[in-house]
């Protein structure tokens, strides 16, 4: 566990690097929710080609976190799984505990990215907050923690089945592919079919601008007809997390040790 | 030395990582090619865009955006992780003996990783260029179809005449595409060497070898800093996707100077690190 603490410097530095230009050269005091909106892809109206690239750019911060923590559960299987599991009476209990720790790390990682941006905002242009903006920040943390947790856990599970490189490649491939699928939606002629297409894609819940949250003053985007309640996003992403969690539970019960592993 | 490099390259190219990279890129370019065939099968020759705009890496191609964002993970597979795998499986001891010396082994490994990554990344795009050149008229371009457009292009109206290889982009699209593919291959192979250098220090988990490459890519995403006194804005997609407008010749030159400087530093680091280990 101690090994992973030093990696929290990476999201913190990312937060500083990517907000440096905007905050140090910015004019006027910003609201705290503006940082959440920036980091939560809050400026995406329609998912066009440019919007997808912009989203991938923003998500790069989180992808780094996924790479680092994609070995958190997997490492137990690399060379010491015999020792770990021979002493472990209930493997399910062990797995639940590891998942909870991983979720805590995910939340802390998110806070680290946010804290980096807050530091530059405080140094550069000053910051205010209100009750409304705290709610937006909470939604950002909830949505992004759940999304990253599901991705990291999936990367761990695929790493256990194949190896860590394939695990990461698959997860990044899936995430980017789901984003790409959002471009197939016809936003001009938004029928119920398009609505189903959008809402069945988990990546659509990671765009903060697609929620009913009164962020129009910040983003300049008028109220979208397909905007949904933030609680719905939290519920859908929780369901995704649970699905990945149960798949992981099945995999972990079956695999004792990884043969011919290059990560040992 | 030549034989050692050749045999190492053959080994790397026959490994699973190289095949995965090659086939992922090949599927992407073929998918794009068939989409283009479907879209432009009934279009008149005069209304067709230039051949550069059919390629995966062209400015507004969705598959291209996906491939370019994914390529910083893929480059690690053919050559970047080879050094770490050799060390983990203890093959390096035998290879050092067979190569008649530690440095011969390391240098040949680096050259082989560079060449194999270059091949895995550039060959699929070259195949696409060949297919496009066969399927679509090379000389056609909407921008050049009328005399007024030709004058507009010549004077840079609506376009940026200082853009990287502007003349080639407009008048010699195949040459332009070829040069850009070679540059993309160079970029990918350079990233492979950087991840190889990182594997000297940290090779506990192979996935972590993606971190330095990924960090570099994300730094190039949206930052602005000086390279040897020249202030250029770094835009990862701008440099790797083909566009007549954004990247100027000067920016492109300094971008590659920066990348190659990091590669040279990485090579020196690998040699020094291995030398110190011997002591």
Find, among A156, A160, A159, the residue nearest to A148 by Cα: A156
The DSSP line for B254-273 is: HHHHHHHHHHHHHHHHHHHH
The residues with which B234 forms a beta bridge, in sequence order, are: B223
Nearest chain A residue to B202, by CA? A263
The count of other CB atoms within 10 Å of the CB of residue B16 is 10
Q: How far is B147 from chain A (nearest CA, A)?
A: 32
Helix/strand/coil for A211: strand
Residues of B in contact with A75 (CB under 8 A): 205
- Would you list which residues of chain A are within 8 Å, Cβ to Cβ, of chain B? 14, 17-18, 21, 49, 52-53, 56-57, 60-61, 63-64, 67-68, 70-71, 75, 78, 159, 163-165, 167-169, 172-173, 176-177, 180, 183, 262-264
Instruction: Please identify among residues 19-48 of chain B the ones whose CB lies closer than 8 Å to any CB of chain A.
Output: 20
Runs of H (alpha helix) within chain A: 2-5, 9-24, 32-39, 49-69, 75-78, 81-86, 91-124, 131-161, 164-181, 192-199, 216-219, 230-254
Find, among B9, B6, B189, B2, the residue nearest to B114 by Cα: B189
**CA gap A68, B205 in Å, rounded:** 10
Instruction: Please determine, for residue B38, whether its predicted confidence score (pLDDT) is greater than 90.
Output: no
Record the tokens describing residue B39, joined without a space: 């879209």
Instruction: Please identify among residues 221-240 of chain B the ones whose CB lies closer than 8 Å to any CB of chain A.
Output: 221-224, 236-237
Residues of B in contact with A264 (CB under 8 A): 88
Helix/strand/coil for B234: strand
Helix/strand/coil for B242: strand
Mean pLDDT of A138-150: 91
Record the tokens describing residue B77, joined without a space: 């597979």
Taken in order B49, B52, B56, B57, the sign of the CA dihedral is negative
CB contact under 8 A, B70 and A176: yes
CB contact under 8 A, B207 and A56: no
The count of other CB atoms within 10 Å of the CB of residue B226 is 10
Average pLDDT, chain A: 82
Instruction: Please determine, for residue B279, whether its predicted confidence score (pLDDT) is greater than 60.
Output: no
CB contact under 8 A, B62 and A165: no
Percent over 90 (pLDDT), chain B: 9
Most B CBs within 10 Å, among A6, A18, A52, A53, to test the B interface: A53
B108 contacts B149 by C-beta, under 8 angstroms:
no
Instruction: Please identify among residues 175-214 of chain B the ones whose CB lies closer than 8 Å to any CB of chain A.
Output: 204-211, 214
The residues with which B225 forms a beta bridge, in sequence order, are: B232
A102 contacts A73 by C-beta, under 8 angstroms:
yes
Instruction: Please identify among residues 93-152 of chain B the ones whose CB lies closer than 8 Å to any CB of chain A.
Output: none
What does the pLDDT look like over B157-172, one tens digit per residue?
666 667 777 777 777 8
B98 contacts: CB under 8 Å, gap ≥ 6: none
Cα dihedral A236→A238→A244→A250 (10° resolution): -120
Q: Is the reported ipTM for this assembly greater than 0.85?
A: no
Instruction: Please determine, for residue A5, whether its predicted confidence score (pLDDT) is greater than 50.
Output: yes
Residues of B in contact with A56 (CB under 8 A): 65, 69
Q: How far is B214 from chain A (nearest CA, A)?
A: 7
Helix/strand/coil for B136: coil
Any A CB within 8 A of B18 CB:
no
pLDDT for the residue B51 = 79
Give, as one character, the DSSP assignment of residue B247: -
In the block, residue with structure tokens 């410097």: A9
Please tell me the pTM assigned to this model.
0.83
Q: Is A219 or B180 the better-scoring residue by pLDDT?
A: B180
The CA-based angle A22-A24-A28, given to 5 degrees, is 80
Nearest to A168 among B73, B88, B89 (CB): B73
**CA gap B271, B267 in Å, rounded:** 6
If you count residue pairs, one on A and one on B, with CB atoms under 8 Å apart, how many are there? Answer: 87
pLDDT for the residue A262 = 59
Instruction: Please determine, for residue A264, whether its predicted confidence score (pLDDT) is greater than 60.
Output: no
Find, among A228, A225, A208, the residue nearest to A43 by Cα: A208
Record the tokens describing residue B202, joined without a space: 């940290």
First-to-final CA distance of chain B: 24
Find, among B53, B56, B58, the residue nearest to B25 by Cα: B56
Q: How far is B62 from chain A (nearest CA, A)?
A: 6
Q: Is B216 or A102 the better-scoring residue by pLDDT?
A: A102
What does the pLDDT look like over A16-48, one tens digit per residue?
877 777 777 766 788 888 888 888 777 777 777
Most A CBs within 10 Å, among B27, B35, B203, B210, to test the A interface: B210
Of A163-172, A234-243, B88-97, least confident by mean pLDDT is B88-97
Most A CBs within 10 Å, among B206, B216, B217, B246, to test the A interface: B206
Residues of A in contact with B76 (CB under 8 A): 165
Nearest to A49 among B20, B60, B208 (CB): B60
A51 contacts A41 by C-beta, under 8 angstroms:
no
What does the pLDDT look like over B109-135, one tens digit per residue?
889 999 999 999 999 999 998 998 888
**CA gap A127, A125 in Å, rounded:** 7
Most A CBs within 10 Å, among B76, B92, B207, to test the A interface: B207
- Cα B92 to chain centroid distance, Å, stands at 28
């Amino acid at each position: 566990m101690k090994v992973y603490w030093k990696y929290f410097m990476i999201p913190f530095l990312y937060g500083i690097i990517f907000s440096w230009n905007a905050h140090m050269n910015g004019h006027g005091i910003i609201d705290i929710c503006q940082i959440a909106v920036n980091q939560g892809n809050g400026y995406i109206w329609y998912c066009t080609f440019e919007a997808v690239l912009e989203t991938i750019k923003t998500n790069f911060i989180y992808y780094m976190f996924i790479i680092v923590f994609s070995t958190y559960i997997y490492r137990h299987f690399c060379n010491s799984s015999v020792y770990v599991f021979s002493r472990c009476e209930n493997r399910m209990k062990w797995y639940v505990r590891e998942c909870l720790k991983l979720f805590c790390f995910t939340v802390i990682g998110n806070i680290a990215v946010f804290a980096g941006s807050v530091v530059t905002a405080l140094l550069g242009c000053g910051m205010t907050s209100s009750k409304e903006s705290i709610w937006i920040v909470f939604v950002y943390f909830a949505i992004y923690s759940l999304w990253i947790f599901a991705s990291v856990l999936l990367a761990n599970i695929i790493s256990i089945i194949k190896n860590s490189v394939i695990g990461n490649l698959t997860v990044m491939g899936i995430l980017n592919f789901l984003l790409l699928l959002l471009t197939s939606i016809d936003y001009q002629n938004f029928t119920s079919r398009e609505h189903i297409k959008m809402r069945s894609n988990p990546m659509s819940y990671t765009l903060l601008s697609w929620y009913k949250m009164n962020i129009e003053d910040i983003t300049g985007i008028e109220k979208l007809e397909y905007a949904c309640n933030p609680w719905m996003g939290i519920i859908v992403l929780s369901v995704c997390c649970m699905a990945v969690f149960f798949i992981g539970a099945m995999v972990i019960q079956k695999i004792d040790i990884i043969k011919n592993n290059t990560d040992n | 030395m030549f034989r050692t490099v050749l045999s190492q390259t053959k080994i790397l190219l026959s490994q699973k990582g190289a095949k995965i990279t090659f086939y992922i890129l090949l599927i992407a370019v073929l998918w794009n090619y068939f989409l283009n065939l479907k879209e432009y099968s009934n279009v008149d020759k005069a209304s067709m865009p230039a051949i550069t705009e059919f390629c995966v890496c062209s400015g507004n191609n969705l598959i291209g955006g996906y491939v370019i964002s994914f390529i910083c993970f893929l480059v690690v597979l053919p050559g970047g992780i080879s050094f770490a795998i050799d060390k983990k499986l203890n093959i390096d001891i035998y290879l050092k003996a067979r190569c008649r010396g530690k440095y011969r082994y390391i240098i040949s490994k680096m050259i082989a990783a560079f060449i194999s990554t270059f091949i895995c990344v550039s060959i699929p795009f070259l195949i696409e260029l060949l297919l496009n050149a066969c399927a679509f008229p090379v000389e056609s371009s909407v921008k050049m179809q009328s005399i007024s457009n030709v004058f507009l292009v010549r004077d840079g109206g609506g376009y940026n005449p200082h853009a990287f290889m502007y003349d080639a982009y407009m008048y010699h699209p195949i040459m332009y595409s070829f040069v850009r593919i070679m540059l993309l291959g160079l970029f990918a192979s350079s990233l492979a060497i950087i991840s190889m250098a990182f594997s000297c220090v940290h090779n506990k988990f192979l996935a972590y070898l993606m971190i330095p490459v990924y960090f570099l890519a994300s730094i190039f995403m949206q930052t602005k800093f000086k390279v040897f006194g020249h202030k250029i804005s770094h835009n990862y997609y701008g440099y790797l996707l083909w566009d007549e407008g954004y990247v100027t010749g000067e920016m492109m030159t300094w971008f590659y100077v920066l990348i190659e400087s990091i590669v040279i530093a990485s090579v020196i680091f690998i040699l020094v690190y291995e030398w110190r280990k011997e002591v």
